[in-house]
Amino acid sequence: MNKKQILLELQSFGARLDVPVEEHGRCGGAGPSDDKAFMLDGVAAMVPTLGDFAQESPYAVISDDDGKYSITSNGRNVMPVEFVSTPKFYGLKTKNGIPYRQIAVLHGLDVLATTVSQRCIRWRREGERCHFCAIENSLESGATISLKTPEQLAEVAEAAVRLDGVKHMIMTTGTMNYHDMGVNYLIDCTRAIKAIVPDLGIQVQFEPPENLEDMELLYEAGAEAVGIHLESFSQDTRERITPGKAKISIERYFEAFKKAVDIFGRNQVSTYIIVGFGDSEESIVEGCRQIAELGVYPFVVPLRPLMGTPLENVSAPDPQFMERIYRRVAKNNREYDLAYRKSKAGCARCGACSGITAFE
């Protein structure tokens, strides 16, 4: 089995941790979480390790007498693996005693990630919650705080750059209201961070705001990239899986994409496309082609069935299906001159949640 296949199988099936490893994973949160950063040949890949399905995976992590880790498949050693050390900034607290890791965490190899508002207006409203999302679960577990202030984020960002060499930062958020969706608060956060660590690339993720011009203010505040996440090109799938967000039409997302590309440039706007909701290969590939033509980077990921969500018992997509989609989307991306390496900040630059990086 080659390394690409191992990567895709790990991302779909997950892996059991048969030995204790560095404490640098995620549990709950927005979007695809419950994952741990595996370093495979020096490249970070987020691999599910917590859900029931990961416990049934053929893959496991073991260690030898020298403390070196390996991945096994059905008990057979397939490749070495390393884990990112616990970042130094995790040892610090704000002057009010809030641990920095409750404000932001390390993702992949060198990304600082935060969910600015851990509350989402769609999560609590009947019929609006995205079925894959566990955003408020990490609040209940005490792993984070509900709203991070611009000052707290700037303080943690400075420490993460100084102590751990973090290269870029992602601010995602629960949707804060039905008008600007939280974009103006994210602008304040961006400004505060850039005032202290101007060289830290920032990607900001949000739903299309009512006034698309708000994105210009975000650019002026210093954000290099944005993520506006459609998840599926099928309105039926959106109404089933993301019923609240589905009230904003696909056409409106495309308007937001065009405006965002005008402001931030090609390859600096991305969207998560999640495979595993039943959408056909054709619909996914053609949708990704259409947005790539606009200059939007399609960040294709396999569904991560998170614990505590309505999808927790759903199977992750077949790795061979993922491979066909990655190949075709990567080919289209090349035709439109898009590549994860050209992203200045964000999930597209990190790439650890997707296997597409292996195909570009």
Site residues (vs ligand SF4, CB under 6 A): 46, 107-108, 111, 113, 170, 347, 350-353
Whole-number minimum distance, CB 157 to ligand SF4, in Å?
14
Closest CB to ligand SF4 among residues 225, 350: 350
Whole-number minimum distance, CB 203 to ligand SF4, in Å?
8
Whole-number minimum distance, CB 42 to ligand SF4, in Å?
15
Closest CB to ligand SF4 among residues 25, 217: 25
CA terminus-to-terminus distance, the chain? 20
DSSP state of 87: P
Whole-number minimum distance, CB 226 to ligand SF4, in Å?
13
Nearest to 133 by CA among 119, 116, 114: 119
Closest CB to ligand SF4 among residues 260, 348: 348
Enumerate the H helices of 222-318 as residue ranges: 235-241, 250-264, 281-294
Closest CB to ligand SF4 among residues 113, 256: 113
Please say whether the beta carbons of 167 and 225 come within 8 A: no
Distance separating alpha carbons of residues 2 and 159, to the nearest angstrom: 39
Distance separating alpha carbons of residues 88 and 102, to the nearest angstrom: 14
Whole-number minimum distance, CB 345 to ligand SF4, in Å?
9
Nearest to 215 by CA among 277, 268, 166: 268
Query: Which residue's structure tokens are 């992750």?
Result: 316
Closest CB to ligand SF4 among residues 227, 319: 227
Cα 324 to the chain's mean position, in Å?
Answer: 21
Closest CB to ligand SF4 among residues 316, 347: 347
Whole-number minimum distance, CB 273 to ligand SF4, in Å?
13
Structure tokens at 302: 């396999």
